[in-house]
Amino acid sequence: MSSGRRPSGAARRLAVVLVAVAAVGAGCQQPAPRPPTPSPPSAPSPPPSATGPRAPADFVALSDVDPSIHTDIRYATAHNFVGRPIAGYPEPLCLLTRPAAEALRRVQAAALAEGRSVKVYDCYRPQRAVDDFVAWAKLPGEQQMKAEFYPDVAKSKLFADGYVGTPTAHSRGSTLDLTLVPVPPPTQPGYLPGQPPVACTAPPGQRFPDNSVDMGTGFDCFDPLAHTADARVTGAARANRELLRRLMTAQGFQNYPREWWHYQFTAEPYPRTYFNFPVARSSLP
Ligand SMILES: [Zn+2]
């Protein structure tokens, strides 16, 4: 190819940046509010440690607040839409601000009274994880998980369509992704990297055998069928989505309409701060 007919290096780099900023995100878009540009934490940062920045004093491990809540932290594993562990997740933990964790404890109490338990897929998400999603978005050839997580949506549209966003409310520490499981929960088969994918939009019994109740799609299913109010979701799956929404809104959480699993604590203590400490016990005070 003639170099004289190609855009300049600077122009190509700008194009890449514009595509990434317009397009990408992470697991979940936040409903509101969001700053005009991605930014590092805006609050005074805690002093750095050997492992990176630390969490403020009011961040907690959810398991310390309510050990009865189940966890399935997908971004610490290969079973997610990227297909490998995501940067910033050295441990499969749910970290949240204490007010959000306490509210979720009340959700769990109400859920247990109805024969269900909360299971969380993702909680606080460091900015470095979102940056990892951005980097992944620049690699159009890496689509090994497409058949399960975005079978009918082009990778280049995931972000423009709002399934992934940067920055994400998750980085503010009071937003989480969750589902409901029966009590006691069924055994969930382990995920084997490379196993044949099944579309997250497939009926229960065909898609990945998550031990949750039927929510109409799998988790992180980037498809209109995952929109909370999608009219094609009826029967038990509709009832389960509504139960989750009722339980969560009663304790101050707000759903993101494009993802049945994504909830933001509306009284979040850090509405404008995007943290970057790793998801690890050592990040907590
Ligand atoms: Zn989310």
Q: How far is the CA of 2 from the centre of ligand 1 (A)?
A: 45
For residues 26 and 131, the answer to whether their CB atoms sit within 8 Å is no
| pLDDT level of residue 165 (50, 70, 90 thresholds) | confident
What is the CA angle 258-76-187, rounded to 5? 80
Mean pLDDT across the stretch 190-212? 93
Q: How far is the CA of 10 from the centre of ligand 1 (A)?
A: 34
Task: Give the whole-angstrom CA distance, residue 53 versus residue 285.
Answer: 11
Instruction: Tell me which residue has tokens 């005009």.
Output: 36
| pLDDT level of residue 194 (50, 70, 90 thresholds) | confident
Task: Give the whole-angstrom CA distance, residue 221 versus residue 223.
Answer: 6
Q: How far is the CA of 73 from the centre of ligand 1 (A)?
A: 12
Helix (H) or strand (E) segment spanning residue 260: strand 259-265
What residues are annotated to the active site?
Answer: 259
| pLDDT level of residue 160 (50, 70, 90 thresholds) | confident
Taking the CB of residue 151, how many other CB atoms lie within 10 A of it? Answer: 16
pLDDT at position 83 is 95
Secondary structure class of 238 (helix, strand, coil): helix
Secondary structure class of 95 (helix, strand, coil): strand
When computed from its CA atoms, the radius of gyration of the chain, rounded to whole angstroms, is 19
Task: Give the whole-angstrom CA distance, residue 276 versus residue 204.
Answer: 36
| pLDDT level of residue 35 (50, 70, 90 thresholds) | very low
Structure tokens at 283: 């990040």
Q: How far is the CA of 125 from the centre of ligand 1 (A)?
A: 9
pLDDT at 121 over 50: yes
Cis check: omega of the bond before 167, within 30 degrees of 0: yes
Mean pLDDT across the stretch 36-49? 44
Q: Give whole-number Cα distances, 178 to 18, 22, 235, in Å.
A: 32, 27, 20
CB neighbour list of residue 228: distance below 8 Å, 6 or more residues apart: 241, 245, 255, 256, 257, 258, 259, 260
